[in-house]
Amino acid sequence: MDEVEIFKALSNKTRIQILTWLKDPVKHFPAHKTNCENNGVCVGLIQQKAGLTQSTISEYLSILQRAGLVTATRLGQWTYYKRNEIAFEKLSHLIASEL
């Protein structure tokens, strides 16, 4: 749990937006309900919604992953990203008690 790395990852409007989309993927990516429920959301869907280039979004997702805020699962050609809720709980607790 590298706090500074986490806060850097959160220091960007688009990355925060992505995290809120991933909080309720069925709502934000309704056309892909099944995958969203099971595996997470693939890079391409996030990219379309964010409106930035593929390379930028891929990079952003790996920043979030390195910070531990999301997890990635490769299935075939797709990489599915999901929130790591435990990391958010820990962060919330850290701010409330130790920071």
Q: Kindly list the residues in this chain that would bind DNA in the complex (CB under 7 A).
A: 8, 11-12, 14, 42-44, 47, 52-56, 58-59, 61-63, 72, 74, 76-79
- Is residue 92 involved in binding a copy of itself (CB under 8 A)? yes
CA distances to 35, 44, 48, 94, 98 from 52, rounded to whole Å, are 22, 11, 7, 32, 36
Q: State the minimum distance, in angstroms, from the CB of residue 40 to a copy of itself.
A: 17
Indicate the residue among 5 and 72 with the shorter CB distance to a copy of itself.
5
Alpha helices in the chain (DSSP H): 3-9, 13-23, 25-28, 33-38, 43-50, 54-66, 85-97
Of positions 7, 33, 59, 75, contacts a copy of itself by CB under 8 A: 7
Question: Whole-angstrom Cα distance, residue 13 to residue 39?
Answer: 24
Which part of the chain contacts a copy of itself (CB under 8 A), choosing from 16-24, 33-41, 43-51, 55-63?
16-24
Q: Is 27 in the site for a copy of itself (CB under 8 A)?
A: no
